[in-house]
Amino acid sequence: MKKEIIYCSTVCSEKYYRDVYVKNNCFPGQQEQKYHRLIVEGLSVCNDIDTVVLSMPPFIKNSGIVTDVSEEVDNSVNYQYLTCKYKNTIQKIIIQMTQILRVARKIVF
């Protein structure tokens, strides 16, 4: 029976980072991205573990970068993204509730 690890972070796949940030000449938290990406890719190497990343990719204020990618698989890691154009208080609450519901749904089912 495969176990599933749910990793909540601001990490995004290398492809997503390259396509969204590098093309737009924005480099949010490169060290942080690499650190967390290496952890989740290391976990996904185990044959009996499925790694799911629930992520809110770094948001750069006034950059105009908005993506519609909601889910992708890269290096055996399933990335599920929450997107938000602006981070005001109400949207932060909505993001947190969405994260909680996604985790709860994964645990229950």
> 0.85 exceeded by the pTM?
no
- pLDDT for residue 23 is more than 60: yes
- pLDDT for residue 86 is more than 70: no
CA angle at residue 51 from 44 to 83, to 5 degrees? 125
- pLDDT for residue 85 is more than 70: no
Phi, psi of 107 (to 5 degrees): -70, -40
Per-residue pLDDT averaged across 42-62, rounded?
A: 79
Per-residue pLDDT averaged across 7-32, rounded?
A: 80
Enumerate the β-bridge partners of residue 96: none
pLDDT value of position 3: 84
Enumerate the β-bridge partners of residue 81: 55
pLDDT value of position 56: 77
